[in-house]
Chain A
Amino acid sequence: MNNVKDILLSNPIFGLLLTLFCYYIGTKIHKVLGWSFLQPIVIATIMIIIFLKNVGISFEEYHAQNQLLNYMLPVTAVALAIPLYKNFHILKRHSFPLMMGISAGTITTMLSVVVFGKLFGADKVLIASMLPKSATNPIAIEVSSIIGGIPSLTVALVVITGIFGGTFGPELLNLFRIKSPIARGIAIGSMSHAVGTARAFKEGEIEGAMSSLAMAISGTLTAILSPLFLFLFL
């Protein structure tokens, strides 16, 4: 087995190839099955972990061979300015309800993390890792390291949050009797970033637009509020 590991790791293309291959398979499976909880990223992650464990490659070794993708991480956050700008006319006309809805959701979800985290005995590092979970990943990963969380744990929790919101969000909103497409889009985007937004677009054009707007604003808000939460509550 050690031999296989050496052959693969000595090849600089191996890591990136593995990531792209597994993600590609993930998109294919996702398309065929169409289950929103089996996102391509989930399928790819599971495949890659099983592969790495079996061949005996560590995460650090795999990570080092994916510098091209890692380099792009911060760039992806900047791209969020585009959906924000495209939906800005809606925000401008209805700024009060939209900003209030996004802020109220973002603040209460962060407060709930602190309150229930402490109630169930999570330590400071765990709470800091959970705090940015509703933000989109490029923002959450940076926030986590600024406030003393474990960034790679945060990334996983962000994915789980997105999948939960994207899978059950619309059904939960039905349960809460929230009917307005605008309010539904805002709630999904504020809570479950890009994965939720993809689902919101399936619900309707307004839901999707509102969700992508909410994702950019709540992510920015999470980044601004997290150090304050750290100072006040942790």
Chain B
Amino acid sequence: MFIKQFLIILTPLFLGYFISTYTHLPLPSNVIGLVILFLFLIFGIVKLKWVEETAEWILRYLALFFVVPTVGIMVHFNLLSKQAVQIFVPLLLSILIGLFVSGKVTELLISKSKGGWNE
């Protein structure tokens, strides 16, 4: 069960690396893998139940896989304290603006398209 699911999740990633290596697209291999798995699901080549359990297990513990790279921040303490303004002001402003624009645009277009929003 787990082996089959893991095999099916690894295959699009393998193809992603393959495509990335030979096309020199400036796209991460794992994003290509994501798109390939999504297309496999859409076209019914892969059934949802073949991958669902393992994929959801991975997503549930997503943060765990990023503990190690986040600890890497210790290498940049100097940079972060010296350039705190240059980093954190643009970071926070861009989140505020993005949140506002994304929410407003969606809400505006929803209110314009009538009906069918009782999902």
Interface on A for B, CB 8 Å cutoff?
19-20, 22-23, 39-41, 44-45, 48-49, 52-53, 59, 62-63, 66, 69-70, 72-86, 88, 90, 93-94, 96-98, 100-102, 104-106, 108-110, 112-113, 115-117, 119-123, 126-127, 130, 133-134, 136-139, 141-143, 146-147, 150-153, 155-161, 164-165, 169, 172-173, 176, 178-180, 182-184, 186-188, 190-192, 194-195, 206, 214, 216, 219-220, 223-224, 227
Contacts and interface: CB of A to CB of B under 8 A. Distances in A.
Contacts of B86: 117, 120-123, 126
Interface of chain B, main secondary structure: helix
B31 A69 contact: no
A173 B99 contact: yes
A108 B101 contact: yes
Contacts of B98: 105-106, 108-109, 112, 134, 187, 190-191
A66 B68 CA distance: 7
B73 to A, nearest CB: 4
B9 to A, nearest CB: 6
A114 to B, nearest CB: 8
B74 A142 contact: no
Contacts of B3: none
Contacts of A72: 58, 65
Nearest to A165: B95
A97 B109 contact: yes
Contacts of B101: 104-105, 108-109
A130 B80 CA distance: 12
Chain A to chain B: the 7 pairs with minimum beta-carbon distance, closest first = A105-B102, A109-B98, A101-B106, A152-B72, A142-B28, A97-B109, A187-B103
A182 B2 CA distance: 34
A98 B51 CA distance: 26
Contacts of A147: 26
A155 B73 CA distance: 8
Interface in B18-75: 26-31, 33-35, 37-38, 41-42, 48, 51-52, 54-56, 58-59, 62-75
A108 B106 CA distance: 14
B1 interface: no
A128 to B, nearest CB: 12
Nearest to A186: B106
A40 B63 contact: yes
B31 A97 contact: no
Nearest to B10: A75
A206 B102 CA distance: 16
Nearest to B88: A160
Contact of A172 (B29, B87, B96): B96
Contacts of A195: 63
Contact of A78 (B37, B70, B91, B116): B37
A36 B62 CA distance: 16
Contacts of A52: 71, 74
